[in-house]
Structures are given as C-alpha cells and as structure tokens.
Structure 1
C-alpha cells in the first residue's frame, strides 16, 4: 500500500487549530454540556492535581477531549485515531517518488522530514491518552459500578455523548489522492462513525 501526499496537504491535515479543519468542524457539532454530569463552576483551564476527586479529573478530561482545556493537541489526537494515516504507506510514497526521474529530491526530503515531525506529536500523546482514558476513566467507572456503599461516578459517563469516544484501535485512513485534507469530508459522508456522529 502506497500513499502519496503533498507538503501542503500534510501541513493542512495536522494544522488542527485551523477553523476549517475537519476536527474543528466536528467539535462545533458536539453538545455544549455533558449529559451525565454537570460542569457548572468548573474552570477547564484550572490545574487539577492527581489527588483530586475522580469527578474533578473527569471534568478535566471532558474539557480536554473537546479542546476546551489546556491540552488542545490531546483532543486532536483523539480525533486523529479515527483518521489514522499509515506512516509506512506514506514513507513508501516518498520512496516511490525518489525513484522517478526528474523529481525534486530536496522537496521529497523536506516532505519526509516534515512528516516525521508531524507524526511525532500524535505518537507522543498516544500513551498519555490511553493512560488518561482507557486506564483511569474505565477503572473509575468499573470501581463505581462495583462499589457497595457509595458510587464514585456514574458508569454511564463512559459513553458520554458530548465528547468523542475513545477508540481502542485506530481506524486506518488511506487517501486515494495527494490531498489527504480534502478527502476527509468525503470519507465522513460515507462513514459517519468516524466523526463520532450517532
């Protein structure tokens, strides 16, 4: 499998602060308030210590997963799990370009170097995202469901509809055109679950 991309489309795909980015469009469709708990009085930018009650830390997760908290790149990483560009396939595309005559080798090297930098962001957030959601959030939900005397949090928060769901496995994204940015809306029209629409 080979994916060919342009430098412009690579930069556009990872520029998640752009209001026209598909992630920014999707986040505008999220419900403003949570369904299973209240955010009243909670400052999403305020620091939350590890010793804070689970409810406060879940408030922080909720804000972060919507890019309203201090870690907007965490929210993009969550979105990107639904549009996971296969790095090996992109690298094969660079190799194929280098083998073609009359290609600008410097441009290909620049694209390859930029791709490595861009991919390092999501990779760096992959484990924290898993630890924050999969290990902590799910553990609290299970502990609450099994508690005999008190409930820490309501287990329904695990499927809170006002934030994108955490996918255990990435959904591969194989754009057929060099402009991977432009392909996302077309793919979402066919597979709406990628945009967390239920």
Structure 2
C-alpha cells in the first residue's frame, strides 16, 4: 500500500514537469517559426543580394602577348609596313552569379530549395596603369600608338576568358557559389538548403 502511494506521488510530480517541458518546447518552436522572416521569397533574395558577395571567385593573372601586324590594300601586303611588339599586362576576372539568376523553387521557412540559372564572368578588369610594351619594331609607314595597344589588350581579354573557362574556371565558380549560398542560408536559420544549377 505504501509503495503504491509512493508511485502515485512520483507520477503526480513527474507528470506536470513533463507537460511543462512539452509546452515550453512547443512554445519555443512555434515562436521561432513565427519569428522566421525568411518565408517571404522576396526578402530572401534581397538578403542574398545584400549579404552575399555574388563575385564568388576572383582570378588574378598576368599575360604576355606578342603582336605582329602589317598594312595591306586589297589583301596585298604593303612592303616595309611590318610592325611587332610585346604587351605585358595584369588583369582580374570576377566570376559569380547575378541576383536575377537565382530562383527560389520551394521555401517552407525551415527548408529552402534554390536554383541557380547560370554562373558567369561578371567583370574583367585590366590594370591600365601597368601595361608595358616591349621590343617595339615599327616602320615609317606603320607606327605603334597607345590606342592601338589598348585595343589589342581588349581583344586578348576575351581570348583569356575562353582559356580559363576551358581550364575549369566555371566549375570553381559553381562550387564556390553553392558553398556561399548554403552557408549564408543556414546562417539565416534554414535547416535544409538545396542548391542546384540549371
């Protein structure tokens, strides 16, 4: 009889504590769900745009190109019009995504599914103050001028972009974009973040 009373007393003490724990954990969960401002997709995209550096890969390089030219009329080369020079310059290529390339497929406030349309080269800067021209060989009929050199550098920019894309630059941009988005969205409170590329 005494044992039954002790058991009943223990149940009477433990039951309210258990109910209190359940109610508190439910209340905290409900509160955090209501506090999650990131169920609104527009707010998520705005936050991504403001917080995330959309330039996810910065590639610095030095390039040296040899330029050889001559003048011609109707595909007939003019004698003594040959010229050549070597250009050395430094550049920076930034790869990443633009905000309009990020689309939210599903957002529950706890889980978010993001689709990235495409990664791209966002900008490509040449350090104009450090362009060097060496070994200039020009003729009386065909002089080398600075505008021509700048025009040639601009042409070689595109060639360099093609070169690094072939070497896997965009794979690195995708990898870093995925990692940056996942880290940022998890810091915003999402438990599950799925980032896919189109």
TM-score range, shorter chain: under 0.3
Structure 1 or 2: larger helix share? 1
How does the TM-score come out when normalised to structure 1? 0.25
How does the TM-score come out when normalised to structure 2? 0.25
Higher relative contact order (CA 8 A, sep 6+): 1
Q: Which structure would you say has the larger Rg?
A: 2
Structure 1 or 2: larger strand share? 2
